[in-house]
Amino acid sequence: MPYLLPGLAPSAADAPFVRLWRGFLTGRVMVALALLFLQGLGQFMNLAVEPAVLAVCLAYLAATLAERTLAGRAPPPPTAGARWLPFIGVDLAAVCALQLLQAGTMNYTPLFGLPILMAAVLGTLTLALGTTAGVTLLLLAWAWWQGLHSGGDDAARYLQSALTGTGFFIISYLVHQLSVRLAREQQLALQSQMAAQVQSQVNALVIEHLTDGVLVLDNQDVVRIANPAALLLLGGPGVLKPPFALNNSPAWEPLVSLAQRTFRQGQPVTADADLRHPGQSPTGLHVRTWLTTSRGESLPEPEVRLCVMFLHDLRELEARLRTEKLAAMGRMSAAVAHEIRNPLAAIVQANALLEEDLNDAGHLRLAQMVRQNAERLARIAEEVLDIARVQHQISHAPASTLMLDDTVAQICTDWQRQDPAQRSATISLMAHDAQIEFDTEHLRRVLFNLLDNTLRYKGQHNDSLVVTTRVNPSGVVSLQVWSDGAPMDKSVERHLFEPFFSSESRSSGLGLYICRELCQRHSASIRYQRLVRTTGRGETGGNAFTVGFRRNTRPAENATLFDTIVV
């Protein structure tokens, strides 16, 4: 209608006006039927036939029925115009005709209220006042007509017509103002509803993608809402889908107790809980609960109160804390490692010179132990410094381009030469001369780390370790290292690429972290997945690390990023 606010959907705002429009059309049909019935009944009782009046009633009924059928879903434009003539004009013409043709004291003036109300509710103020003015003129003309034919007190008739017209003007103005006010209130309500829907969608989207679990429970321990993170933390057999009862599993009993405690105390609760599923390691959770309403509020129904429960994986919280601590320790460790390298180099050199003059077997063994442990310390210091190198490299260092298949083949050959008896791998190069942006030494470090990592867990078959390069149909170049090792525990998989995290006591836990940092430096990605491959033994499951590269078509260069590194 004419009072739509910007941005509001017309179909939603016009729905009440469409219902009013249909109501007016139906009301006109009912008025026509009532007129026809009353005229017929009156003529039957008086035994006098007035064909003209019956004809007008029949014509009015036919017109209203046709308009009710053919008018469509929406009313005409609210501004005054010719499109209102079939409706307001027909009503005025019908009432005037009945008033002229009536033979007794019947007064059809109240029927003028129908077109006036239609114009005031569905039209503009101009249309409403114009219709009322037309009705007033018709009433004055009728008073003049009566004065010509019947005589009597003309002043009283004119006064009556003027008074009736004034009442119609007042009614028209007030009804139009009420219509405008209701339209505005309805539009505000629609805007509020749309804003609430948008907010609800945003809240649902945020909750859906939260890394922390969110549960919404009622006081009967029934979960009404649960995001994917919460369902994953709850675990248990089968696929969970709200609503479900939280007390169905004994492993969830700590959460049930916290929810009941929250409802009982009417206050937020914070606590740690362990979910113990049979045959699985306990899942430690940090739980925070809130009530949607406070105890002091008056509620129509007690079950309206809901408990919102936030679940945080304690392992994730510990990992964040560990990462923050390691960030500070890493800076100190890099400085310490840098200072250790020079004394280690002196120890190794002095031990080598001393070893040349030793002849006793026992002394030689001691010198060899010194050399091995010094080399081990040097490797650890180098790994710590690698983190500093990766994190503090110059962002605009020159990039290098290499041929993936040739480089991977050379790196794998060098890796196998270090221990040909143990380091066997199947190499499948299918990148077809693809060039990538990656430093050769950095790719060597990434591939060596992945190969050394998989070597510890692979089987003894010839195809237990497979290195593959390929280009998928979308043009993405990738390198994959696959081994037939046992599946990783979920707690290990979750922290694979974190620094200093390792499932072995003798490992520094920096290998995969350095791989990820080097890949990110070259706009590449690395991920882990459990993958089934076809081997000589059939379909075999294994652990796969896949590196996705950024492809480049520039000529290969021999520049290295290590030329620009200063530690």
User: Does the pLDDT of residue 557 top 50, yes or no?
Assistant: no
Measured distance CA(378)–CA(365) in Å, rounded:
20
Q: Where are the alpha helices (DSSP H) in 252-360?
A: 253-265, 314-356
φ, ψ of residue 44 in degrees (nearest 5): -70, -40
* pLDDT score of 1: 46
Task: Summarize pLDDT for 399-423 with one digit per residue, the tens.
Answer: 578 888 899 999 998 888 888 878 8
Measured distance CA(566)–CA(393) in Å, rounded:
8
Task: Summarize pLDDT for 496-542 with one digit per residue, the tens.
Answer: 777 666 655 455 567 787 788 788 777 788 888 888 888 877 888 88
Nearest Cα to Cα of residue 255 among 238, 267, 240, 272? 272
How far separated are the first and last CA of the chain, in Å rounded?
72
Binning pLDDT at 50, 70 and 90, where does residue 560 land?
very low
Task: Summarize pLDDT for 157-194 with one digit per residue, the tens.
Answer: 888 888 888 988 998 899 889 888 888 888 888 888 88
User: Does the pLDDT of residue 8 top 70, yes or no?
Assistant: no
Measured distance CA(360)–CA(366) in Å, rounded:
10
Binning pLDDT at 50, 70 and 90, where does residue 566 land?
very low
Task: Summarize pLDDT for 122-152 with one digit per residue, the tens.
Answer: 888 888 888 888 888 888 888 888 777 776 6
User: Are the C-beta atoms of residues 508 and 383 closer than 8 Å to each other?
Assistant: yes
* pLDDT score of 501: 60
Give me the percent of the chain exceeding a pLDDT of 90.
2
* pLDDT score of 299: 44
User: Are the C-beta atoms of residues 482 and 465 closer than 8 Å to each other?
Assistant: yes
93-107, 188-202, 222-236, 288-302, range with the lowest pLDDT: 288-302
* pLDDT score of 88: 85
User: Are the C-beta atoms of residues 379 and 452 closer than 8 Å to each other?
Assistant: no
**Which pair of structure tokens corresponds to residue 102?**
């009536």
Give this prediction's pTM: 0.44
